[in-house]
Chains A and B, each alone.
Chain A
């Protein structure tokens, strides 16, 4: 039982390049979330998926797209990376009951 896994762990991109961050959970959770964490800003919600087949914007969605591939997997895509997207990205999941979210280990992204 691995919980929430994220790949890659580190990534360096040049401005304008694209990439997809992968997230998977093996806890049979219904909801999944993508956050970014920046110094002094705390965790900010980018997108979330309340259940398989649905996605909604969070606080900072601009420049990102998401796909809820199935119940286990929720990916985050940067179509044209910008230096302002340099951050640590966390995926989280939540069961159908309660509000506790469980986080993955993060992806550290640098855009130059």
Chain B
């Protein structure tokens, strides 16, 4: 099946720093979703993107739907300790016959106070 390459796999940052992560694929997507998972909890939807070039913010989080439709980016500004967790991208391949999503393997974020 389709694969999403999510990078970096993990990152350690100082509180107050900005964070960038991305997902790439060889397939064209018509939907990109970004989730955050806290330890012991289920993934929580952060941002949904539906158009190439779309830039959407949710507080300190900003996500972009890549122009090529094969990638997406998530930025977190001025990180705080509660940003710790695993961030997943997910997407729906353009032309797919079902409503299934393809998930990246996650970026584990650690914030050093």
Residues of A bordering B, CB below 8 Å? 4, 31, 40-43, 45, 48, 50, 56, 58-59, 90, 94, 98-106
Instruction: Say yes or no: A106 contacts B101, CB within 8 Å.
Output: no
| Known pairs A43-B88, A106-B41; A101 contacts B101 (CB<8 A) | yes
Residues of B bordering A, CB below 8 Å? 1, 31, 33, 35, 40-45, 48, 88, 90, 92, 98-101, 103-106
8 Å CB contact of B43 from A40, A41, A90? A90
Instruction: Say yes or no: A100 contacts B45, CB within 8 Å.
Output: yes
Instruction: Say yes or no: A59 contacts B104, CB within 8 Å.
Output: no
- Taking CB atoms, residues of chain B closer than 8 Å to A31 are 99
- Taking CB atoms, residues of chain B closer than 8 Å to A43 are 43, 88, 90, 103
| Known pairs A90-B42, A106-B42; A99 contacts B101 (CB<8 A) | yes
Instruction: Say yes or no: A42 contacts B1, CB within 8 Å.
Output: no
Instruction: Say yes or no: A103 contacts B99, CB within 8 Å.
Output: no
With the chains together, A63 CA to B35 CA distance in Å?
Answer: 28
With the chains together, A99 CA to B31 CA distance in Å?
Answer: 7
- Taking CB atoms, residues of chain A closer than 8 Å to B45 are 100-102
